[in-house]
Amino acid sequence: MEVQTVADKIRVLLTEEEVNKRISEVAAQISSDYKGRPVHLICILKGGVFFTCELAKRLDLEVSLDFMSVSSYGSGTESSGIVKIVKDLDEPLAGKDVLIVEDIIDSGRTLAYLIEVLKQRNPKSIQLCTLLDKPERRVKKQVQVKYTCFTIPDEFVVGYGLDYDQKYRNLPYIGVVEV
């Protein structure tokens, strides 16, 4: 009897080429919007690393970068609903134009919490940029996304930083786990 793994059940949703093309388009828009102003990227770990690196390379701006780990996920495929800061920022935000870079926005709980925390640090502005958005899953409707690469259906996705139990982050495309 042949054993099937999760990797055998991954269907390509967005190819590497599609992802790279769209990141370039979004980077051009951000570069235009922030023209002449430095932008402070906040990469949301762990999933946001791949997207943040690719986005930052394509920005025609002065960029500073910091990392934050905010979690509402357990080891499964559903959000726990409990948000916690696992790793805080190293740099102050006062007076900076901040762009939060996220791999995926699902319920919006994590980002709603994060935005409230970061507003207390007096940035000049806060905007959101995400690789993937699932607006139909949004419970926190006040989360407004300025830059979205792709709006996707409510399916569990992996690749390009997104994982299934800490696996498959390194896939160069976005795939759907079909169980």
Q: Is 154 tagged catalytic?
A: no
Among 106, 133, 154, 165, the active-site one is 106
Angstrom CA distances, 144 to 11, 26, 105, 126, stand at 29, 16, 10, 11
DSSP secondary structure of 39-90? EEEEEEETTHHHHHHHHHHH--S-EEEEEEEEEEE-SSSSEEEEEEEEE--S
Tokens of 58: 């394509």
Give the span between the Cα atoms of 100 and 173, in whole angstroms. 22
Q: How far is CA 36 from the centre of its chain?
A: 25
Contact 19, 50 (CB under 8 A): no
Q: Report the catalytic residues.
A: 106
